[in-house]
């Protein structure tokens, strides 16, 4: 009698389990589809066989046979992503409680409703990661761009008024803010906003001498020589006070303006008027102004300039050069570089300018690559940009890797010729140790470019 009761209880348990499986699979076809129901059916079958093994003694051969069949069945079943359930069937279905032991059903325990497994997120490609880096670290919000332009314009007006009152005898031109911020080439807020302060030189009293014809023999530079001294002796021009050996010295001029910005201008009053904090930077020989606003921070650089004769595109900067080139003026290639990039992109609706911003953003965030400035990276993009290739957004990742390869090749040879003057080596000022550090960082980045982002 006891054996009959045990068999009858076992039969009822199997009938209850079969009903649960049939009910669950019937609803799974509606909710999960055919593929999902197949996967769920296999999992339910595995649970049933585990219960059977616990209640019925099995031979070792039968167990091995069932095991490899189940594994082969799972491998042969294609994995399908669960489809979202229809609106009418979106409520979860509570499964029936299964027997907890070999003696049949005992206390029923509440079980949680089955949850659909969310699909595993796909790995992003390098192109997608590059565009995400551009969105997060390169692109500046339009509101910040407008605010930065407003602050730069207001500071330029205040500084221009001060210089005219402080040095009425020196004919400075209108201080004009410009540069990458105004041409869509600003990569984040790490780059300086340019504030051009042109010198108004008397026609016929000054001439430009190429740097290769001077003692420095530097093709990047030019000398500004005073002429017509027999007809207009020294002192006839207000700029004669900055002459050294018959040449207009940018070093003396920069020293005067640096003292003026740091000691004479009362920046707290100007900053209070404009709603920001302004202070000159004393950590460098460049004329830098650090501006702090409640919404952003920016750095302005005052660039004293001399325009070329005959209204050509040549623009010379008073830059703190070292050695015998200290009294020479550095040629500013930014205007012609920006114009050429714009022309190339307009021709084929390309992404050369975006590539430049990405390179600048990546290098500026890397401690070893921070030595590569805008000038070096612009020349790399110009060398690539002149070639006929795909410059659409879909190929931006490939162009980025090509730019890294070009940089590595240039560092191996310690030579990056200027696009507009091949005699100028833009890597000539780097030490061998610095070139090795940059080359190693770029080579490592080329092996795993995601680490650079």
Query: How much is the pLDDT for 385?
Result: 93
286 vs 192: CA distance, rounded Å: 11
CA-CA distance, 7 to 110, in Å (whole number)?
Answer: 27
pLDDT of residue 176: 92
Task: With beta carbons less than 8 A apart as the criterion, state whether 439 and 411 touch.
Answer: yes
pLDDT per residue rounded down to tens, the chain (453 residues): 444 344 444 444 555 555 555 555 555 545 555 555 555 555 565 555 556 655 555 554 444 344 333 433 343 344 444 444 444 333 444 444 444 444 444 444 445 555 555 554 567 899 999 999 999 999 999 999 999 999 999 999 999 999 999 999 999 999 999 999 999 898 876 689 999 999 999 999 999 999 999 988 889 999 999 999 999 999 999 999 999 999 999 999 999 999 999 999 999 999 999 999 999 998 888 999 999 999 999 999 999 999 876 656 789 999 999 888 889 999 999 999 999 999 999 999 999 999 999 999 999 999 999 999 999 999 999 999 998 899 999 999 999 999 999 999 999 999 999 999 898 999 988 999 999 999 999 999 999 999 998
**Residue 434's pLDDT is what?**
95
Q: What tokens were used for 72?
A: 């082969």
How crowded is the C-beta side of 42, counted as CA atoms within 13 Å? 18
Question: Which domains are delineated in the chain?
Answer: 140-332 (3.30.460.90), 349-452 (1.10.1410.40)
Q: How far is CA 20 from CA 23, 29, 111, in A?
A: 5, 14, 14
Two structure tokens written together for 187? 């990569």
């Amino acid at each position: 009698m006891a054996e009959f009761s045990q068999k009858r209880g076992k039969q009822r348990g199997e009938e209850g389990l079969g009903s649960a499986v049939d009910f669950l699979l019937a609803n799974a076809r509606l909710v999960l589809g055919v593929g999902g129901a197949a996967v769920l059916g296999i999992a339910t079958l595995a649970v049933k066989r585990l219960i059977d093994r616990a209640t019925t003694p099995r031979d070792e051969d039968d167990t091995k046979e069932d095991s490899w069949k189940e594994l082969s069945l799972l491998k042969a079943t294609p994995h399908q992503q669960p489809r979202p359930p229809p609106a009418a069937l979106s409520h979860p279905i509570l499964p029936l409680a299964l027997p907890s032991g070999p003696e049949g059903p005992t206390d029923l325990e509440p079980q949680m409703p089955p949850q659909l497994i969310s699909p595993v997120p796909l790995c992003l490609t390098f192109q997608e990661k590059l565009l995400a880096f551009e969105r997060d670290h390169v692109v500046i919000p339009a509101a910040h761009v407008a605010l930065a332009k407003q602050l730069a314009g207001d500071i330029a007006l205040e500084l221009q008024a001060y210089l005219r009152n402080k040095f009425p005898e020196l004919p400075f031109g209108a201080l004009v803010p410009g540069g990458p911020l105004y041409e869509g080439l600003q990569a984040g807020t790490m780059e300086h906003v340019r504030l051009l302060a042109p010198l108004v030189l008397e026609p016929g009293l000054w001439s430009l001498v190429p740097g290769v014809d001077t003692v420095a023999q530097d093709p990047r530079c030019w000398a500004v020589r005073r002429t017509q001294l027999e007809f207009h002796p020294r002192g006839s021009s207000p700029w004669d006070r900055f002459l050294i050996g018959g040449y207009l010295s940018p070093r003396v001029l920069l020293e005067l303006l640096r003292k003026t910005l740091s000691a004479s201008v009362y920046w707290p009053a100007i900053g209070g008027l404009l709603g920001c904090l302004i202070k000159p930077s004393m950590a460098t020989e460049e004329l830098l102004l650090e501006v702090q606003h409640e919404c952003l921070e920016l750095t302005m650089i005052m660039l004293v300039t001399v325009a070329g004769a005959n209204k050509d595109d040549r623009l010379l900067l008073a830059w703190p050069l070292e050695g015998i080139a200290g009294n020479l003026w550095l040629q500013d290639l930014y205007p012609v570089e920006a114009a050429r990039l714009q022309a190339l992109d307009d021709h084929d609706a390309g992404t050369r300018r975006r590539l430049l911003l990405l390179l600048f953003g990546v290098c500026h965030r890397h401690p070893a690559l921070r030595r590569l400035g805008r000038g070096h990276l612009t020349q790399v993009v110009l060398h690539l940009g002149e070639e006929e290739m795909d410059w659409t957004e879909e190929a931006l990742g490939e162009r980025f890797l090509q730019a890294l390869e070009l940089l590595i090749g240039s560092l191996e040879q310690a030579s990056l010729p200027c696009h507009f003057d091949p005699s100028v080596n833009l890597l000539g000022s780097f030490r061998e140790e610095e070139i090795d550090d940059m080359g190693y960082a770029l080579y490592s980045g080329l092996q795993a470019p995601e680490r650079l982002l």
